Every structure is written in C-alpha cells, then in structure tokens.
Amino acid sequence: MESMNKNGIPGDHEVAKAELMRGHGHLWNIIFNYVNSMALKCAAELGIADVIYRHGQPLPLSVLLTELSILPSRTDSFRRLMRLLVHSGLFTSSTAGDEEEEAYALTPISASFLVTSKAENMSPLVFAVLDPVMVDPWHCLSRWFTAADEPPAAFDLFHGKSLFELTGNNPEFNVNFNRGLAADSSFVAKLILEQCGGDVFRGLQSLVDVGGGSGVLATAIADAFPQTKCAVFDLPHVVALLQGKPTVAAIAGDMFEFVPPADAVILKACNIINLLLLPFNFLIINNQSSICYIMQWVLHDWNDEDCVRILRNCKKAIPPKEKGGKVIIIEMVMKLENEEDGSIHDETAETQLLFDVYIMTPVPGKQRSEAEWKSIFIAAGFSSYTITPILGLRSLIQLFY
C-alpha cells in the first residue's frame, strides 16, 4: 500500500517496478527467440508437416509419434515442442474423441512452406538459413566489427573464405543452400506472375536471370511466357545443379567480369554454355530486341560499389527503354524509422530490420531504402525506375535508361 499515493494511484516506485518486470520479460523474449528458429528447424528435419499432410486430416499425437519414430521416452518433450509450434502459428491442435488426445493439423504457413513432398528439388528455406555453416559465423560477429584485417563478412572471418567460395567447394552445403533459396524463389515467382506478370514480362524476346541460382524463377517465367528465351547466369558450381531444365539455358560465369547478352543465350539454349565461347557471341547481339536482366536477392549481397559494377555490366547489353530494354530487381526496399506512416512498428518492418542485420553475416550485404537504391541506379547510368511492392517484405524494381 505504501507505493500507492492517497488517491489509490500507483506511485513512481510501483510504476518503475512494473516497467522493470516488463523489461525483464522483454529481454528474456529476445534472449530465447532463437528457440523459435531451432524448433522450426527441428520440425522441418523431423518432417512433421509432411506426415500431417499425407494423413489429410488432424493427426492424433500417438499416430504422429509412431510415424516419426519418436522414442516413448521423448513423448512429453515432443508434446512440449508441438505446444510451442502451435503457439508460433505453424500447426493447430484440437482434442478429439473420448480420451481427449491432442490432434495436430497444418496451418496455411506450414502447408505452404514446410510440406516438402510437394516441391521437387527444394527444401524449406530454414535449412539454408539455419545450416551450421551459416549459424556458426554469428559467434564472431562482434569480433568482425573490430578485426583489424577487415574481412568482408563474419562468414569470411569464421570460415576463412566467402560464402560463394564455400558453396564452390562444399557440394553438400551447395545443394542445401540452393534448394533452400529455390523454395523461396518458387513462392515469389508465383506471386510476381499473378500480380504483375503481364505488365512486366509480356513481349520480351529474351531474359537472363543473373545470379539465378536454382533457376526456379527463370523456369516459371519461361513456362508462363514461352516466346521469351530465358537463361540462368551464375557461378559454375551453381549452374552445374541446373542440368535437366529443358526450357532454360544455363550459363556459367562471373557477373563482375561481364553479364552475357541475352541474345547470345538464345543461340545456345538448353546447353551449359562454355564461358570461353561467349565473347564470340557478342558479335551477333541484336541490340534492337527487347532484352531484360532479372536479379533476385543478388544486389543485397554486395556493397554499393559492387552493385554499380554489376548494374553497369547489365546496362552495356540492353537497349534503351523505348526499344524494350530493362533490368528487373527483386529486393527489399527498406522502410525507415523516420517515415511518417509509423509502420516501422509492424511485423513487416521488424522483419526488414532483422534481415538487414542478418545479411551482413554471410555476405558483405545490406538492405536498402529507396534513396539508397536511387543513388546506385544513377551511378550505374540508369535514368528512371519504378517500384512495385509485391510482398510486404520486398518489391519489384524496373530500371531503364
């Protein structure tokens, strides 16, 4: 009672104590947040969503335990794991029958992003992001800030090489990483084609997906627009995973050296083009045709100077806007804290902040605001751009000169 004043209103001391308790809870939430990530990874590794999906209706706990070969001694632990995953919105639980045994069902999130049996050559993104190869470097992020030899990213400090060098000499991780990103690409490709496909891709003669990874995006565009000749350009060990995609050509090379002209791609469609042959193909570029380069999650890997180099290489090979040339970039456009609408507090804005810090650990990357993008576009010689938000999190940017 002593902390109330005579009107029954909590005194300063009581308010401060309540705030401290809230703050303590908040801190715990931040500290233990990685448990959500790891519980999700565990669910994906066990294949919980696949088993529920195959069952086609809410799955009683006992059946789930049997199907997943969970040891009887782990029953209680498994139920607690499921309780957290239900709380996170990945599954729902209900009780059915006289014994009131819990039964679990998929939510739209797990049905769309965790069921692997529906997606060939893809695995949930969580396998790429939470692979120990990606997680271990976080333990030296603080050291990276002060390391005198200034390694490009904490990843390089921890592994002694860059992410893309490591994918080149660790085949298992190369597959894991590219399959994880493929699943995300597949989702985005569907969205783009539904929301703005006609406006963006209709009438294009050729398109090259620069840093196109698994080729999922290029394949979806090629399937939706069969008259557009599509190709994926990426590092040799990445395009090597692309064998067997009949509608998309694969080209190995280094985008810092040059970006292949799309018309050269058409000549060699359906083969992995030997990089050595490409200079000869320059001789027969038809600069009058509508050529487009597309890049998803490529520029966010690099500093401003490198982005300008990549974009200048693209600009060299496309005709001006009136002749149908453009570069399409699918990336985040960060909302900034001082933007008027206050939306920095919503979940999308928080995810953007997390992803911006996330990307500095595997690569020397960053997420950019519109003003930051604009100065890169101008430095690379482009004169206009449009931004179409396709998801809360990211946008489709079209660049012209």
Ligand X SMILES: O=c1cc(-c2ccc(O)cc2)oc2c(O)c(O)ccc12
Ligand Y SMILES: C[S@@+](CC[C@H](N)C(=O)[O-])C[C@H]1O[C@@H](n2cnc3c(N)ncnc32)[C@H](O)[C@@H]1O
Site residues (vs ligand Y, CB under 6 A): 164, 181, 185, 211-213, 234-235, 238, 254-256, 296-298, 301
Kindly tell me which of 163 and 238 has the beta carbon lying closer to ligand X.
163
- Binds 200: which of ligand Y, ligand X, none (CB < 5-8 Å by kind): none
Smallest distance from ligand X to CB 380, Å? 20
User: Tokens for 121?
Assistant: 């050559």
Taking CA atoms, 213 is separated from 174, 235, 283, 372, in Å, by: 10, 8, 27, 25
Instruction: Tell me whether residue 262 is exposed, middle or buried, using C-beta atoms within 10 angstroms of its C-beta: 0 to 12, 13 to 18, 19 or more.
Output: buried
- Binds 238: which of ligand X, ligand Y, none (CB < 5-8 Å by kind): ligand Y
**Residue 251, Ramachandran bin (φ over 0: left; ψ between -120 and 50: alpha; else beta):** beta
Q: How far is C-alpha 2 from the geometric centre of its chain's CA atoms?
A: 54
Smallest distance from ligand Y to CB 214, Å? 6
Kind of pairing between the strands at 326-331 and 395-400:
antiparallel
Q: Where are the beta strands (DSSP E) in 5-130?
A: 59-60, 91-96, 101-106
Smallest distance from ligand X to CB 212, Å? 12
Kindly tell me which of 105 and 133 has the beta carbon lying closer to ligand Y.
133
Instruction: Tell me whether residue 349 is exposed, middle or buried, using C-beta atoms within 10 angstroms of its C-beta: 0 to 12, 13 to 18, 19 or more.
Output: buried
Active site residue 300: yes
Calpha distance 321→42 (Å, rounded): 48
- Binds 234: which of ligand Y, ligand X, none (CB < 5-8 Å by kind): ligand Y
Smallest distance from ligand X to CB 61, Å? 32
Residue in 55, 87, 159, 300 annotated catalytic: 300
Q: Which of 211, 146, 149, 140 has the alpha carbon at shortest distance from 361?
A: 140
Kindly tell me which of 214 and 228 has the beta carbon lying closer to ligand Y.
214
- Binds 58: which of ligand X, ligand Y, none (CB < 5-8 Å by kind): none
Give the binding site for ligand X (CB under 6 A): 125, 128-129, 134, 163, 181, 184, 297, 300-301, 362-363
Smallest distance from ligand Y to CB 258, Å? 10
Kindly tell me which of 215 and 325 has the beta carbon lying closer to ligand Y.
215
What single letter denotes the amino acid at residue 266? I
- Binds 256: which of ligand Y, ligand X, none (CB < 5-8 Å by kind): ligand Y
Query: Would you tell me how many other CB atoms lie within 10 Å of the CB of residue 66?
Result: 11
- Kindly list the catalytic residues: 300
